[in-house]
């Protein structure tokens, strides 16, 4: 049942949802950091690799904006990832003055492995949920995500 315009969400419900989402986010972040201890990358490098994996090649400025970091910080991050053969700088085909960061195979492999391990962890957490509960959770999380965009 959808809320009518005249109704408002109970403040306690909103507070509890926010708290649950914050705690869930923290747990996922912590679990992700634990998984990263098996790899030679830092959490910020993993975030950068994820952006490149999901959105493709981008400039330092674009990556900086997505990560909410200063360009100088992002440049240092990319320098270290390039040294470890996770990414490479490539000249833009249309404008040779533009340099894009390109994800290399090793970077893709790390992202793929870590995401699969996170999915295994989530599947373990969801093992006592019914199929219907999982379906509704997925629908509602997708709806929340769309509304937040």
**What average pLDDT does range 46-61 have in this prediction?**
96
Query: What's residue 104's pLDDT?
Result: 98
- Answer yes or no: are the C-beta atoms of 90 and 99 closer than 8 Å: yes
Report the C-alpha gap between 37 and 45 in whole angstroms: 13
Report if pTM > 0.85. no
Residues 64 and 71: their CA atoms lie apart, in Å, by 6
Please name the helix (run of DSSP H) or strand (run of DSSP E) that holds residue 102, with its range, or none: strand 99-103
Instruction: Check if the beta carbon of residue 36 is closer than 8 Å to that of residue 49.
Output: no
CB neighbour burial string for 53-90, b if at least 16 within 10 angstroms, e if fewer: eeeebbbbeebbebbebeeeebeebbebbeebebbeee
40-148 in CATH: which number?
A: 1.10.10.10
Distance CA 78, CA 89 (A): 9
Residue written as token pair 């994800």: 103
**pLDDT one-digit tens code per residue, 12-42:** 899 999 999 999 999 988 998 999 999 989 9
The answer on pLDDT for 5 being more than 50 is no
Predicted local confidence at residue 4, as pLDDT: 52
Domain ranges of the chain: 40-148
> pLDDT of 67-111, one tens digit each?
999 999 999 999 999 999 999 999 988 998 999 999 999 999 999
The 10s digit of each residue's pLDDT in 126-141 is 999 999 999 999 999 9
Helix or strand (DSSP H, E) at 75 = helix 71-83
Positive or negative torsion for Cα 57, 59, 65, 68: positive
Residue 2 binned pLDDT confidence (cut-offs 50, 70, 90): low
């Amino acid at each position: 049942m959808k809320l009518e315009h005249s109704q408002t969400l109970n403040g306690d419900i909103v507070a509890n949802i926010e708290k649950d989402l914050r705690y869930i986010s923290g747990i996922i972040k912590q679990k992700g950091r634990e998984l990263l201890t098996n790899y030679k990358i830092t959490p910020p490098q993993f975030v950068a690799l994820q952006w490149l994996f999901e959105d493709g090649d981008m400039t330092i400025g674009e990556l900086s904006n997505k990560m909410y970091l200063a360009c100088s910080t992002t440049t240092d991050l990319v320098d270290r990832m390039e040294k470890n053969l996770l990414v490479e700088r490539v000249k833009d085909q249309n404008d040779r003055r533009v340099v894009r960061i390109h994800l290399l195979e090793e970077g893709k492999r790390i992202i793929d492995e870590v995401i699969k391990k996170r999915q295994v962890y989530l599947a373990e957490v969801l093992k006592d949920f019914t199929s219907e509960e999982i379906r509704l959770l997925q629908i509602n999380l997708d709806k929340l995500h769309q509304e937040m965009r």
